Structure 1
Amino acid sequence: MPLHEDYTVRIDAFQGPLDLLLYLIRRAEVDVHNIPIHEITDQYFGFLKQIDHVDIDLAGEFLVMAATLIEIKSRTLAPPKARAEADGDGGAPAPRDDVDPRHELVQQLLAYQRYRNAAEELNHRRDEFRLRYAATVRPELDRAPVDAEDAGVELEDAHLLDLFDAYERIVGSIDFARLGEHRVEYDDTPIALHQEDLLDQLRRAPMRRASFRRIFEGRTRLEAIGLFLAMLELARQRMILVEQNEDGGEIEIAVVEDPVEESVSDDASRGSA
């Protein structure tokens, strides 16, 4: 993209002057190690001129960077000898002539880019973690027997092992020996279709919930496997609830109500009334 193209940006859209410089460099499609300092400086000042209302606290760092860019630009325009004399004023040792005036700025940009990439990666992992369904393991050896008077204690959610236990009981109740010779079949049905099947079945059920066993009634083994995987995925996405009212009791699956859908349904019912 040409460097001179028009652009519109806002000062509060950037975390700081380095963020703005990276934006301009990416927009120009140039290597950060070879910054066209003259064009970037002109664009930077063009950006500052667009600011109508300046927040001193916010704009202070941008103005400091503007002064830095002017200094770097002047050093690149000056002959090497004059640049060495100017750098050596004040008693400080003059730097070598072959040192690129942009070097320090490039190092700052690279360091900032690394920090920003790390921050984006952490945000991405945080978003991924939010979609995970926390699974707890029941230590069988530490489980105390349930007294009759405590049989009505409600559990907030069924444990993951409860689901596997229930699934194993369903599969175990099928007498595969009576089915004759067993042939391994490949089922390429996408899990998404099983998810739609499960959600449709739950939405048509009374109270939009059904027992774990009822969901698998009349299903083939391949369908049961697909539905079970779909159930785990929907639970991970928090689109369904897996509930168990008592320890060792029946597991029920319920659809998580959609607030928008529920509001529309309520409005429709009130309108018909």
Structure 2
Amino acid sequence: MEPSNNAMNIHINDFDGPLELLLHLIKQSQMDIYDIEIEKITNQYVEYLNKMKELNVNVIGEYFVMASNLMVIKSKLLLPKKDDLADENDDYEDPRNELVNQLIVYQQYKEASKVLKKFKKRSSMHHSIPARLPTVSEILDFNGDKIMNVDLIKDAFDAIIKKNHHYHKPYVHEINEWHYTVKEQSNWIITKIENKDVIEFNSLFNENDNLEKIITTFLSILELMKEHFIVVEQIDNKIYIRKK
């Protein structure tokens, strides 16, 4: 059998053990795992280990144990069956069976390992913290601007958050890019005000809004107030936003 060039381009460190190396060679040779061409795969395996030795690579003992097992299986297959003259119904145990079972179990283990790694990667993108939302003072520094009614904005913020159904659930935030920006929400608010001159504060929020949208919208309101584009005022226990 001619050497497989692909087999020579792989390194022993690429594999977790002899079973994984065998699976690689079986897949590379496009063999049926349930009908392994034991002579061909043994030659490839031994050739691979010999190549590693020539390159002065330290190959651990378990790889040579597997090579020995492959040779034993190969020799058993070369021996004539004891019951050649017996009935065809007589049981015959294929010497490859144990190896095939090991490979199948190992393959299932590897697939399960891949799934667990995906879950681990996905879970690393989340973190749980005690439910805590930023205060208005934390969101934006007013720098002592007396024009803004800080208490009014703070009370409005608290009221909107308490109405939001997400407030009472554990806060789990997925780490990714936000879907809302202060600039976009500011333009959205300005458009609504230009159409009506005055809008009710609560009309900017919906009970099903996620925290990202709520906080971004509040930031936008605060920025617009700071830039003197809008005024927030209370009339008859309701809060309104109007153009400056």
Q: TM-score, normalised by structure 2?
A: 0.53
More helix by share: 1
Match for residue 41 of structure 1?
Answer: 42
Answer yes or no: is the 8 Å Cα contact 1:25–1:31 preserved in 2: yes
Judged with a 3 Å threshold, the aligned counterparts in structure 2 of structure 1 residues 122 and 194 are, in CA distance, closer, same or farther, namely: closer
Counting matched residue pairs gives 166
Residues in 1 aligned to 2:3 and 2:22: alpha-carbon distance in whole angstroms = 15
Tell me how far 1:53 sits from its aligned partner. Answer: 1.7
Residues in 2 aligned to 1:164 and 1:37: alpha-carbon distance in whole angstroms = 74
Tell me how far 1:54 sits from its aligned partner. Answer: 3.3
Match for residue 102 of structure 1?
Answer: 96
The Cα offsets for residues 209-264 of structure 1, whole Å up to 9 and x where unpaired, read as xxxx74752367xx999xx67947xxxxxxxxx79xxxxxx9659xxxxxxxxxxx
In structure 1, list runs of 5 or more residues that go unmatched. 84-95, 139-150, 156-161, 170-191, 203-212, 233-241, 244-249, 254-273
Matched, 1:217 2:211: no
Judged with a 3 Å threshold, the aligned counterparts in structure 2 of structure 1 residues 25 and 135 are, in CA distance, closer, same or farther, namely: same
Paired residue type of 1:54: V
Judged with a 3 Å threshold, the aligned counterparts in structure 2 of structure 1 residues 26 and 215 are, in CA distance, closer, same or farther, namely: farther
Judged with a 3 Å threshold, the aligned counterparts in structure 2 of structure 1 residues 229 and 49 are, in CA distance, closer, same or farther, namely: farther
Match for residue 169 of structure 2?
Answer: none
Match for residue 126 of structure 2?
Answer: 132
Paired residue type of 1:110: I
Matched, 1:63 2:57: no
Stretch deviating more after TM superposition (102-111 or 127-136) = 127-136
Residues in 2 aligned to 1:215 and 1:62: alpha-carbon distance in whole angstroms = 66
Where does 1:8-87 land on structure 2 (aligned, <5 Å)? Answer: 8-51=9-52, 52-55=55-58, 58-81=59-82
Judged with a 3 Å threshold, the aligned counterparts in structure 2 of structure 1 residues 45 and 113 are, in CA distance, closer, same or farther, namely: same
Backbone CA RMSD of aligned residues? 4.5
Tell me how far 1:101 sits from its aligned partner. Answer: 0.7
The Cα offsets for residues 49-73 of structure 1, whole Å up to 9 and x where unpaired, read as 2211232xx4211000000000001
Paired residue type of 1:18: L
Match for residue 118 of structure 1?
Answer: 112
Residues in 2 aligned to 1:130 and 1:9: alpha-carbon distance in whole angstroms = 31
Greater Rg by CA? 2
Residues in 2 aligned to 1:30 and 1:219: alpha-carbon distance in whole angstroms = 66
User: Any idea what SS the aligned residue of 1:67 has?
Assistant: helix
Paired residue type of 1:17: P
Judged with a 3 Å threshold, the aligned counterparts in structure 2 of structure 1 residues 152 and 230 are, in CA distance, closer, same or farther, namely: closer
Answer yes or no: is the 8 Å Cα contact 1:9–1:47 preserved in 2: no
Answer yes or no: is the 8 Å Cα contact 2:33–2:100 preserved in 1: yes
The Cα offsets for residues 145-184 of structure 1, whole Å up to 9 and x where unpaired, read as xxxxxx99979xxxxxx89945978xxxxxxxxxxxxxxx
Answer yes or no: is the 8 Å Cα contact 1:198–1:231 preserved in 2: no
Residues in 2 aligned to 1:73 and 1:163: alpha-carbon distance in whole angstroms = 77
Where does 1:225-264 land on structure 2 (aligned, <5 Å)? Answer: 231=212
Match for residue 5 of structure 2?
Answer: 6
Paired residue type of 2:80: P
Judged with a 3 Å threshold, the aligned counterparts in structure 2 of structure 1 residues 224 and 79 are, in CA distance, closer, same or farther, namely: farther
User: Any idea what SS the aligned residue of 2:190 has?
Assistant: coil
User: Any idea what SS the aligned residue of 1:217 has?
Assistant: helix
User: Any idea what SS the aligned residue of 2:103 has?
Assistant: helix
Paired residue type of 2:57: V
User: Any idea what SS the aligned residue of 2:92 has?
Assistant: coil
Judged with a 3 Å threshold, the aligned counterparts in structure 2 of structure 1 residues 4 and 165 are, in CA distance, closer, same or farther, namely: farther
Answer yes or no: is the 8 Å Cα contact 2:4–2:44 preserved in 1: no
Q: TM-score, normalised by structure 1?
A: 0.48
User: Any idea what SS the aligned residue of 1:100 has?
Assistant: coil
Paired residue type of 2:105: A
Answer yes or no: is the 8 Å Cα contact 1:44–1:66 preserved in 2: yes
Residues in 2 aligned to 1:12 and 1:193: alpha-carbon distance in whole angstroms = 37
Answer yes or no: is the 8 Å Cα contact 1:16–1:62 preserved in 2: yes
Instruction: State percent identity of aligned pairs.
Output: 28
Paired residue type of 2:50: K
